[in-house]
Amino acid sequence: MTNIVKICSITAMVFLLSGAASCSKSINSDDVAIENARQQMKGQIDLIEEHPDTFLNPTTLKSDGTLFYCPVDDWRSGFFPGAMWYLYELTGDESLLPLAAKYTKAVSDAQHVRFHHDVGFMVGCSFGNALRLTGDTTTYAPAIVEAAKSLCTRFRPAAGVIQSWDVEPGGEREKKGWRCPTIIDNVMNLELLFEATRLSGDSTYYNVAVSHADRTLKEHFRPNGSCYHVIDYDPVSGDVRHRQTAQGCSDESAWARGQSWAIYGFTTVYRYTGDRRYLDRAEKTFDFVKNHPNMPSDLVPYWDLDAPGIPDEPRDVSTAAVIASGLYEMCRYCPDKAKEYKAYADNIMKSLASADYTAPFGENGNFILMHSVTSKPANVEIDVPLNYADYYYLEALKRKRDLEAGKSFK
């Protein structure tokens, strides 16, 4: 089925479904995108349910055309369960609830991961959404608090930051001379700490989150509003030793997803603290991205905004989805800019829902979106579907719908 035929048939199905309730109800493009997501993810679910021991957590498509299913300790293990919660929320389909619960339980061990910083993504996106939607603190809160404890083992008091990556003897990071590499992505893990304080009453997690946010605010950003990828600290003196990159094209370039983590992450920190400095940071980084001369007209950025081969460089759809979702939240805090931010996010969503980025039905490993990049410098997963692009796209659809309905943020 071509993409056009598929979108037409999904439109027809949405029309028939809604027509039963009301002939005058207009079909909006988000309904089509949601129905498309439901159908694509059904393909992923069917495979998992047929082979539950092997195919658990769809992550990306390998170059041989088969799916990669990540292990629980992979930083991406929370996105598929999280996407299931969003799909349930967007469709209201209750048959998805036990599946979302089952896939969340399957990543329980993520709460004990202490060898990298990504437990915020892993446990926040899975258990965090489970708790938000079910209110079941008995089942879901302990894993969030335990994961926060795990994350805090990586706090380095002299620098006031959570160390992102370990430095293994003889490994790449040691060769670079790093001692306490801390990446911009880490601001995305702070929501887990704020939630842990809310659930446990222990302010330790909140304080670690604020310390990390403050030092990141001070060290990670350039005067033009963009951010570095990696800051390496001296864990004893707390001084900055290096400002570099791992996934960008050069130390001074603007790695696209890093910018999106900063925009989204600092907006989240503002939600929990009410401290305007964090929101200002998110807005300044968004301004940088928005005004960058290499931003394409469809608003889906190249993998690095300064990549040398632009326009012949891959786009990164995951960046676009993260920016859209972050902007829908920023709309709530920036009344003067809300119209502008919403229009920008809506334009991203329009691009992502188009045949340029939404996969033909049954293709793309049943991931919703095409064309993301993990790491071009490492030659890993270039121009592929990624489960976190789908996750933030579904989240953005949900936030857009809530915003348009005037619902309070949850």
Each residue of 181-196: b (16+ CB within 10 Å) or e?
bbbbbbbbbbbbbbbb
Whichever of 163 and 247 has its CB closer to ligand GLY, that residue is 247
Whichever of 33 and 269 has its CB closer to ligand GLY, that residue is 269
DSSP 8-state code for residue 385: -
> Which residues, at least 6 apart from 310, have a Cβ–Cβ distance to it below 8 Å?
294, 302
Q: Which of residues 357-396 bind ligand GLY (CB under 6 A)?
A: 374
HSE (side-chain half, CA atoms, 13 Å) at 206: 13
Q: Is 232 in the site for ligand GLY (CB under 6 A)?
A: no
Is 298 tagged catalytic?
A: no
The CA-CA-CA angle for residues 268, 269, 274, to 5°, reads 105
Pairing of strands 155-156, 240-244: unpaired
Q: How far is the CB of 138 from ligand GLY (least distance, A)?
A: 31
Encoded one letter per residue, x for contact with ligand GLY by CB under 6 A and - for no contact, window 26-65 reads ----------------------------------------
The 10 Å Cβ neighbour count of residue 153 is 10
Closest residue by beta carbon to ligand GLY: 185
DSSP 237-271: T--EEEEE-SSSSSTTS-BHHHHHHHHHHHHHHHH
Q: Is 398 in the site for ligand GLY (CB under 6 A)?
A: no
Q: How far is the CB of 268 from ligand GLY (least distance, A)?
A: 15
The CA-CA-CA angle for residues 242, 247, 250, to 5°, reads 60
Q: How far apart are alpha carbons 200 and 36 in whole angstroms?
A: 39
Q: Count the residues of the shown chain that bind ligand GLY, applying the rule CB under 6 A.
A: 5
C-alpha closest to that of 382 among 312, 321, 306, 285: 312
Q: Which two tokens stand for residue 164?
A: 């992102």
Q: Is 257 in the site for ligand GLY (CB under 6 A)?
A: yes
Backbone angles phi, psi at 232, to 5 degrees: -100, 125
CB 330 within 8 A of CB 341: yes
Q: How far is the CB of 202 from ligand GLY (least distance, A)?
A: 27
Q: How far is the CB of 62 from ligand GLY (least distance, A)?
A: 17
Whichever of 197 and 285 has its CB closer to ligand GLY, that residue is 285
Q: How far is the CB of 57 from ligand GLY (least distance, A)?
A: 16
Whichever of 186 and 358 has its CB closer to ligand GLY, that residue is 186
- Which is the catalytic residue, given 185, 232, 306, 346? 185
- Which is the catalytic residue, given 30, 31, 118, 390? 118
Q: Which of residues 75-114 bind ligand GLY (CB under 6 A)?
A: 75
Q: How far is the CB of 118 from ligand GLY (least distance, A)?
A: 7
Q: How far apart are alpha carbons 121 and 185 in whole angstroms?
A: 10
Is 185 tagged catalytic?
A: yes
Member of 146, 185, 191, 381 binding ligand GLY (CB under 6 A): 185
Whichever of 245 and 247 has its CB closer to ligand GLY, that residue is 247
Whichever of 75 and 264 has its CB closer to ligand GLY, that residue is 75
Which residues of the shown chain bind ligand GLY in the complex (CB under 6 A)? 75, 185, 247, 257, 374
Which residues are designated catalytic? Answer: 118, 185
